[in-house]
Amino acid sequence: MIIDKIENASLYSGINPRFAMAFDYLKNTDLVNLPLGKYELDGDLIFALVQEYDTKSEEEALMESHFKYIDIQYIIEGKELMGLVTKTDHVTTLVDLEKDYASYDEENYSFMLFEEGMFGVYFPDDIHLPCIQLDEPTRVKKVVIKIKI
């Protein structure tokens, strides 16, 4: 996993041409005014999901990982906690290959605070628990870019 600020995106653009495309999109799109929805950047190889939601309690959230896609989750507005851990020795509670996710009943993770302008890159070996409130629910606008492996 990678956690950083958008101004450092150039450090990761060389990982894969699709990373370069994703970070270019994040840096050069008016995300604040972009309507919610799905935006194809290169068909099903790379697309963006613009979301808005209220953060929730830890108990309401779902630990997840993916198989076919790498996630780049970027906070446009607001802040949230993200639970993070690698897959090593963790058991899935549900696998849905069609929807590209596995869920986990996991309590051994660390929280990281994500604020406006921060992103996380989650590879298939990274389990993440997104959308967690700090002290109380708050509104967050986020874009999740899915990069096909």
Q: Which CATH number fits domain 2-148: 2.60.120.370, 3.40.50.1100, 3.40.50.1110, 1.20.120.1630?
A: 2.60.120.370
pTM: 0.94
Write out pLDDT tens, residues 122-141: 999 999 999 999 999 999 99
- pLDDT value at 107 more than 80: no
Q: Which two tokens stand for residue 125?
A: 């070996």
pLDDT tens digits, 77-91: 999 999 999 888 788
**Exposure of 56 in the CB half-sphere (CA atoms within 13 A):** 10
pLDDT above 90 covers a percentage of the chain that reads: 89
Q: Output b/e per residue, 122-139; b: 16+ Cβ within 10 A.
A: bbbebbbbbbbbeeeeee
Q: What is the mean pLDDT of residues 24-47?
A: 97
Separation CA 53–CA 71 (nearest Å) = 18
The stretch 44-62 carries a mean pLDDT of 95
- How many other C-beta atoms lie within 10 A of the C-beta of residue 2? 17
